[in-house]
Each structure stands twice: as structure tokens, then as C-alpha cells.
Amino acid sequence: MKRPLKTAILISALLATPPLAVQAQDYPPPQGMPVASAPVAYSQQQLDQMTAPIALYPDQLVGQILMASTYPLEVVEAYRWRQNPAYAQLSGDQLGAALEQQPWAPSVKAVVPFPQVLSMMDNNLQWTEQLGDAFLGNQGAVMDSIQRLRGMAQQAGNLQSTQQQYVSGSPGDIVIVPANPQIVYVPAYNPVVVYGAWPYPAYQPYYFAPAPGYVDYRVGLIGFGVGIGVVDVLWGWDHWDWRSHHIEVDRGRYENLNRGRPPAFAGGAWSHDVSHRHGVPYANPGARAQFQRASDESRRNSRGFEAPAARQENNTVRPAANGRNSTPHQQQAAPAVQQHVNAPVQQQHEQQRPQVQQHQQQTQQLHARQPQTQQRQAPVFESFSRGSDTRAQSERGAYSRSTQPAAQQQHQQQQQPQHQGEQHPANHQSAPAHQDQGQNSGGGHGGNNHNDDRNNR
């Protein structure tokens, strides 16, 4: 299946489910937990509901999930890729080398070694897309939600250091890291019970049960599967700055994982790269206002479409190749670089415009002088070869005959009985044929009709 068709199918799947409704009323947060100061598109209840399944994951894994969730289409493609028998058994450096060749965002590549995480994101696309839109809309609010839930689990006695992970910090800045830097354990827990008494009865947390047999070791209400060895090129290039509300990125490693393309953001703080969105709409109003236009332009450029400015002259909508008007997006101005590239073509169009306009005026005057004719059905084979030219020549011949001087018409009427009385079989048969061709096909006599027009004038 070609990528554009596959992309359209996957986008349709992403759009099949509506986003969660936005609630106006917020419940008060637990005491001691920070609250985001900036307005959010999702309420606090909804954010806690969305982040509950991953809030107790190791910091770097949580960061990679949140970044990857902003590229839901690539998450689906990565999951399909991983299901291919040729890649399903890859691990370690071999897996890292294969993923480096893929066009996906570094964060999407980073979650591929964790089958439980990748499966969860692919099987719950509505949640994945909403989580990504919430993170794009307000990173600080999502980060505060994670810290708030970690504090609740800690107060309930369910979040503590184990052989699999190390927990440290204070409320608002709780850090979770692997106990062994070379092995990552993905925890499995039920969010309904692990956080204690859930404060939002109308917004029960999402719960994605692990695959049967996944849990290999359990500590209290949190279980762990088999540890996953770190893939060096995919792990360790991001870390949280909880207080400053952003994810710090190693730009050099990010660029290497991004197939040599530098990050689309300045500095070390991660920002969304619209080139990996592939046209998936943004449900969050803030994210849509910030990224949608750039995402659409990036998608068109990647598919080889002509720049919008090349099809726009004098602020008018030019017909597209299929006969329809161009879309509003096609009317937007192109970047300065593209305008520079198209400058010779536009200059040539400027030079040819007076001739084109003069030709259009002459055509309009000719049509205005012609009498209205009844719409006729085209001959069977007129659609082949130069059918439109044939029709135009026929109409010009009919117009020429209709504008003959009155004296000439009277002379022809007087001569008509004399011709009818004479026995000329050949002429008698050829006259109807000539008339037929002038009215229907006109291909063989278009030039003669045009000469009659000049003689009459």
C-alpha cells in the first residue's frame, strides 16, 4: 500500500473517535500539589484521568511517551513495523541500527523497544491522541498532573524504591529512574486503586490491563515485567526539568537519531516538530492555532506539491487542473525562498499577461455577437481528437450564414426554385451533406465557412 493511501486510512482511524469534553468546573487539587498557572484546554480531572496509566513510569520513558503521543500516525506505523516478522525479533544494537533508518521522530523510535508501551499506544489511539494534544496545549499542566498523581501514590504508600526502580525527591519534584541504568522495567498497576481514594468519581482513570503473563514480579500494588535492556542510541537523550516545565534534549544525539536532521527547535528544550505530524488535525485549540498551518504546509511540501504562490496571481483564485478552484490553503503566500525560485516563471507570466487578456477580450466580443444556439448532443466520436475545435468552427460557419446581407439572401431564395427544377443528382445529394457537416461536424468545411465570413464583410 502506498504511503498517501495508508496515511489517509490511518488518519481516518484517528478521527473516528471524538475528544473528551472540556469541563468548566475543577475539583481542588490535593494539598501540597502544584497547579499549572496557565489556562488549559483540558480540566484537571481530565488530565489526571489521561496521565494516570503512565505517571508512575520511569521519568525518561514518560517523556518519550508524551513526545511520541504528539505524532500518533508515526506511532501506528512503528507498531505495524514491529509486527513484521523481519523486525519483530530484533533487539539491542541491531534494533537500534534498524530504527535509525526509519523516518519517524526520535521519541517514536525510542518507545519501540518497549512492546508493552507501543502496544498500549497503538491499541488506544483516542487516548494517545488526546494525551499528545494535551501535552502540546500546556506542557506544564500535564507535568503537574504527573507530579500530583505521584504524590497521591506516595501518600497512599504505593510508590517507593524497589529493586527495579529508584524513587526520590519531594512533592512536585518526584523522580523515578531505573535502579540499574542498563535495564528498564515498565511497571504495571491499576490506577483505580494505586493512587488511593480517587478524587474524581465522574472521571475514573484510564486503565489498560497488561498482556496476560506480563507481570513477573510484584511489589504491593505495582508489578513489573521482564527487564528490557537499554538500546544506547535510543535511551538517555532526554530528561525532565519538572520545576521549569519542559523536557531537556541532547541536541547532538537527537540529530543523530533524526537521520542527521537538526532539531526543529532552538535551545535544549524540546518542542513539537510538525514535519512528523503528517496532517493529523490538532484537537486542542491552542495546539491547533500554533501548529496546524505549519503542519499542513509541511505535509504538502513532503508530498511534492507546488508552492501556493506559484498558483496565485493578483490575489485571484486560479482554477486547478481538475477544474475546481484551489483551496484556501493553496492561496497562502509561499516562503521567501520559494518565491525566489519561482521568480523567473512569474516574470514570464507578467510579460505574457497583456497578450492573454487581449485574446480573452476578442473571444468575449465574438461570443457576444453570435446568436444563441440550442444546446445539441455531441456526435459519438467528437470527444476524440480535436472535437472542441470542430465545434467552434461549426458555430462560426453558422454565424457567418446568419449574417449574410439581405440582398444576397433574397438572391439565393430566388435561385432556389430554379435549382430544384434542374436535374442534377450529384448536386442534389451533395447539398444536404454540406449542410449536415456545417451544423454537426464542421471539420471539413470550417475553413470555407470562415472564408465566407471574410467575403461578406
Output the tens digit of pLDDT for each of the chain's 457 residues.
445 555 555 555 555 544 443 333 333 444 444 444 444 479 999 999 999 999 999 999 999 999 999 999 999 999 999 999 999 999 999 999 999 999 999 999 999 999 999 999 999 999 999 999 999 999 999 999 999 999 999 999 999 999 999 999 998 999 999 999 999 999 999 999 999 999 999 999 999 999 888 888 888 899 999 999 999 999 999 999 999 999 999 999 999 999 998 888 888 999 999 999 988 888 877 778 888 776 666 666 555 544 444 444 444 433 343 433 333 333 333 333 333 334 444 554 455 556 556 656 665 665 555 555 444 444 443 444 444 554 565 566 665 555 555 555 555 555 555 544 444 444 444 444 444 444 444 444 444 444 444 444 4
Cell numbers for 141: 499542566
Q: 109: closest CA among 64, 72, 66, 73?
A: 64
Kindly state whether residue 45 falls inside one of the protein's structural domains. Answer: yes
Q: How far is CA 346 from each of CA 140, 297, 313, 335, rounded to the nearest angstrom?
A: 47, 21, 9, 15
**Which residue(s) pair with 240 in the sheet?**
247
Only one residue has cell 497503538, namely 122
Is position 413 within any domain?
no
Closest C-alpha to 277, from 133, 425, 87:
133
- With residues binned 3-state (H G I as helix, E B as strand, rest as coil), the percentages for the chain, rounded to 5, are 50, 10, 40
Specify whether the CB–CB gap between 69 and 121 falls below 8 A: yes
Cβ atoms of 452 and 400 within 8 Å: the answer is: yes
Cell numbers representing residue 126 in the block: 483516542
Amino acid 80: pLDDT: 97
> Does residue 300 form part of some domain?
no
pTM: 0.60
Range of the domain at 85: 35-295
Can you read off the three cell numbers belonging to residue 260?
A: 542527521
Residue 418 domain flag:
no
Which H helix or E strand runs over 271? none
Q: What is the gyration radius of the CA atoms in the chain, in angstroms?
A: 36
Q: What pLDDT is attached to residue 77?
A: 97
Bridge-partner residues for 248, per DSSP?
239, 269
Q: In angstroms, rounded to a whole number, what is the distance separating the alpha carbons of residues 2 and 73?
A: 15
**221 within domain boundaries:** yes
The C-alpha cell at 333 is: 503566500
Question: Closest Cα partner for 285 from 114, 134, 115?
Answer: 134
User: How many structural domains does the chain have?
Assistant: 1
CA–CA separation, 215 vs 221, rounded Å?
11
Q: Is residue 232 part of a domain?
A: yes
Strand partners, 166: 177
In a domain, 330, yes or no: no
* 315 in a structural domain: no
